[in-house]
Amino acid sequence: MIADKEQRPTAEELQLKSDEQTLFISGRIWHELYPKADPGLFLEALRREIDLSKYGEGIAKFYFTFVIMEELSPNFSNWVGSDYYPEKASIDIGIRLPYQDVVDGDEKAVIKLMEKALLEGIDTIAEHKQEFIAPFDYRAFKNDVEAIFENPDWY
């Protein structure tokens, strides 16, 4: 069924919604491992609980990628690490998870691995402090994310 033209958002409305978002979480994950490794769980929880502006203006957009691949080819090697873009006050972080641990783990174990990776990614923000266009309290950000993960039913 196709929605009425009046119900569908315009391209301009979609762009505005995208511009309002501050947290982006995705994955480069072998398709066999999805939905066992689901970045969407993290995106929903963080968007619900985290207001990035609360920590300062140094980071206006937070992009995080879970990298779960058996082999990291040259095409995907640039997905691991972190980069800060002062002109946009954005940070792009990619953390690689141990592929075999994800394959062997049950859902709960995989979520714990993903939690650990996200927190490690937040730690990499410290490497870019000198580049920030304004202050950003990454420790408070990490503490608030940890508080989400402390609730066993967060997902």
Say whether pLDDT at 2 is over 90. no
Q: What is the CA radius of gyration of the chain?
A: 17
Q: Considering its fold, how many domains does the chain have in total? A: 1
CA–CA distance from 83 to each of 3, 6, 56, 109 (Å)? 40, 40, 18, 28
Q: Does 13 reside within a domain?
A: no
User: What is the band of 30 on the pLDDT scale with cuts at 50, 70, 90?
Assistant: confident
Taking the C-alpha atoms of residue 146 and residue 105, their distance in angstroms, rounded to an integer, is 21
Which domain does 116 fall in, by range? Answer: 21-149
Q: Does 79 reside within a domain?
A: yes
Say whether pLDDT at 76 is over 80. no
Cβ atoms within 10 A of the Cβ of 100, count? Answer: 9
Average pLDDT over the chain reads: 89
Name the DSSP letter for residue 101.
Answer: H
User: What is the band of 75 on the pLDDT scale with cuts at 50, 70, 90?
Assistant: confident
User: What is the band of 77 on the pLDDT scale with cuts at 50, 70, 90?
Assistant: low
Q: Does 154 reside within a domain?
A: no
Q: Does 81 reside within a domain?
A: yes
Buried b / exposed e over 49-79, threshold 16 CB at 10 Å, is ebebeebbebbbbbbbbbbbbeeeeeeeeeb
Q: Does 126 reside within a domain?
A: yes
Say whether pLDDT at 153 is over 60. yes
Lookup: tokens for 47: 């968007």
Q: Does 73 reside within a domain?
A: yes
Say whether pLDDT at 86 is over 60. yes
- pTM for the structure as a whole: 0.85
Q: Does 10 reside within a domain?
A: no
